[in-house]
Amino acid sequence: MSKKIAVFGMGYVGIPAAALFADVEGFTVVGIQRRSKRSGWKIDLLNKGKNPIGGDEPGLSELIERVVKKETFRVTDDFTECKDADIILIDVQTPTDENGIPHYESLKEVCKQIGQNMKKNVLIVIESTVAPGTTDHIVKPILEEYSGLQTGIDFSLAFSYERVMVGRLLYNITKLPRIVGGIDEESTRKALNLYRNIVHAELHSTGALTAEIAKVVENTYRDVNIAFANEIALMCESLGVDVFKVRELVNTLPNDPSNPSTNPVRNMHFPGAGVGGHCLPKDPWLLKFGVDTYGKFKVEPNLIVTSRKLNLFMPMHMIDLLEEGLNEAGIKLIDAKVTILGVAFLENSDDTRNTPSKPLYEELKKKQAKPVLHDPYVREFEIPFTKDFNEAITDSDAIIIVTKHKDYFNLDLSKIKNKMRNPILIDGRNIYDKEKCEKLGFIYKGVGKPH
Ligand code: SAJ
């Protein structure tokens, strides 16, 4: 007997999840997306079997085309379509503001819509990242208030977070272990059964709160590790040593083969021009918000907050390196044409969420420089940018590499040098070799490189 799945939120998480389930025998999937200015256009595109997600996403376009053709996947803005759904996935945005406070307008609105329409015995799964305590204290009460039904008795509720990354959305959903946390054991059991259909890796079951914490800790752990690498990079710059050599040597320390679990491997992360995306800049604040709001006692997350601030500082450090390069060339920053390579926050993607290029661009503007943004993948951005590389670097006084797009790997630096006004290269992603660049006549400065 065919089961109906309704997926709220056609974004980087909702679209691949919906398409994967729609490709499983016995499921029909309806995507529910507000016809908003920002995302409404995706509805018609998806219903034509087209993939609205740009950049390289292996297998996603073919999958969407296939499930739309076999009519197991369609998209609508009519949220009452969830009234006969057996399973409902919540994949809406859960942003935080500049003070790290989560804004759950979309989440609350969708929970109200689901509550007003859901049927008994439905399984509801939150996949969006939320502050610990949100499933129990925000989602559950709204669903019960608007449905008049009781969680765990009339319907099931679980939290099971995504581990998607742009550039490998399908791989990360199907091949990475998944954590499933129910509001009760029956909810966990039902959710495990659901994900067995698309996850070809280990499923780990736990409670909803533990799963919520695991998600934000997973990203906070990465953010703190990146901050550590960035701090070491600044120290190496001061000592005049290449941090990437240091990192390489540090990561040679082997795991303790006799007792691997007690001695985790060394995995110093990569320092760089900044930390962007929808997850790492936000999840540490969601973790803090959860403890501040639902915790039994106050905990001041000094390490986590300091790390976040250090990662926010890195785009500004790019300007320090730039000003040093310009000084060496005897050029003022005022009116200097500065080419910023990369608008996306992650390589080979079109995803600009919380990109480090934005604060870098804005600070350069404030300093009366003339920054120009370039990106080969991005389609739209709140700040004007160009896809024309030649236009971006012609008569430029300096190039700053922010995103590790493969397009920036084997640039013909001699040719570029002849087109620039001043050959200055600021490398925020360790793409180029300092000595080679200097031999070509560039002033080269890099994060974590000797000055
Ligand atoms: N970055 C560094 N140094 C590093 C790694 C990353 O500066 O060593 C920067 C990147 O350039 C980028 C930012 O950090 O600007 C985030 O990069 P990312 O590779 O973490 O990409 P995300 O944010 O798309 O993916 C993360 C992943 N989380 C973890 O690995 C713990 C992914 O698994 C999650 O699914 C995703 O967040 C999410 O959606 O939560």
Q: Calculate how far, in angstroms, residue 404's C-alpha sits from the geometric centre of ligand 1.
A: 13
What would the DSSP string read from start to end of 295-307?
-SS----HHHHHH
Q: What is the CA radius of gyration of the chain?
A: 24
- The Cα–Cα gap between 40 and 61 comes to 19
Pick the residue whose CA is nearest to atom 34 on ligand 1.
163
- pTM summary value: 0.94
Q: How many beta carbons lie within 10 A of that of residue 368, not counting itself?
A: 11
- The Cα–Cα gap between 338 and 49 comes to 41
β strands within 313-442, DSSP E: 337-341, 370-374, 398-401, 424-427
The identity of residue 240, as a single letter, is G
Binning pLDDT at 50, 70 and 90, where does residue 399 land?
very high
Residue 161 to residues 68, 232, 349, 424, Cα–Cα distance (Å): 25, 32, 22, 43
What's residue 206's pLDDT?
98
Ligand 1 contacts (CB < 6 A) are 129, 162-166, 218-219, 222, 226, 269-270, 272, 275-277, 279-280, 345-346
260-266 — which CB contacts under 8 Å span 24+ positions? none
Over the range 371-408, which residues count as b (16 or more CB within 10 Å of their CB) and which as e? bbbbbbbbeebeeebeeebeebbeebbbbbbbbbbebb
Q: Calculate how far, in angstroms, residue 219's C-alpha sits from the geometric centre of ligand 1.
A: 8
C-alpha closest to that of 26 among 235, 167, 208, 197: 197
- Tell me which DSSP letter residue 6 carries: E
> What integer best gives the mean pLDDT of the chain?
96
- pLDDT surpasses 60 at 220: yes
Q: Calculate how far, in angstroms, residue 245's C-alpha sits from the geometric centre of ligand 1.
A: 22
Q: Which of 148-157, 235-244, 255-264 has the lowest mean pLDDT?
A: 255-264
Which of 279, 308, 355 gets mutated to test ligand 1 (max ligand atoms within 8 A of its CB)? 279
The identity of residue 222, as a single letter, is R
Do the beta carbons of residue 233 and residue 448 sit within 8 Å? Answer: yes
The identity of residue 431, as a single letter, is I
What's residue 387's pLDDT?
97
What's residue 252's pLDDT?
85
Binning pLDDT at 50, 70 and 90, where does residue 1 land?
confident
- The Cα–Cα gap between 340 and 321 comes to 14
Residue 223 CA: nearest ligand 1 atom is 14
- The Cα–Cα gap between 78 and 35 comes to 9
What's residue 257's pLDDT?
62
What's residue 258's pLDDT?
72
Q: What is the pLDDT of residues 257-298, one digit of tens each?
A: 676 566 556 789 999 999 999 999 999 999 999 999 999 999
Which of 15, 176, 275, 317 gets mutated to test ligand 1 (max ligand atoms within 8 A of its CB)? 275
Pick the residue whose CA is nearest to atom 37 on ligand 1.
279
Provide mean pLDDT across the span 375-399: 96
326-329 — which CB contacts under 8 Å span 24+ positions? 326/397, 326/398, 326/422, 326/424, 328/443, 329/397, 329/422, 329/424, 329/443
Which residues are catalytic, by number?
215, 279
CA 418 to chain CA centroid, Å, is 37
Q: What is the pLDDT of residues 329-372, one digit of tens each?
A: 999 999 999 999 999 999 999 999 999 999 999 999 999 999 99
Q: Calculate how far, in angstroms, residue 262's C-alpha sits from the geometric centre of ligand 1.
A: 25
Residues belonging to the chain: 451
Provide mean pLDDT across the span 413-439: 97
Q: What is the pLDDT of residues 13-64, one digit of tens each?
A: 999 999 999 999 999 999 999 999 888 999 999 999 999 988 789 999 999 9
| Two structure tokens written together for 235 | 């120290």
Provide mean pLDDT across the span 156-182: 96
What's residue 265's pLDDT?
60
Q: Calculate how far, in angstroms, residue 70's C-alpha sits from the geometric centre of ligand 1.
A: 35
- Scanning 74-180, the segments in alpha helix (DSSP H) are 105-117, 134, 140-147, 169-175
- pLDDT surpasses 80 at 128: yes
Provide mean pLDDT across the span 318-331: 98
C-alpha closest to that of 191 among 178, 201, 176: 178
Pick the residue whose CA is nearest to atom 4 on ligand 1.
270
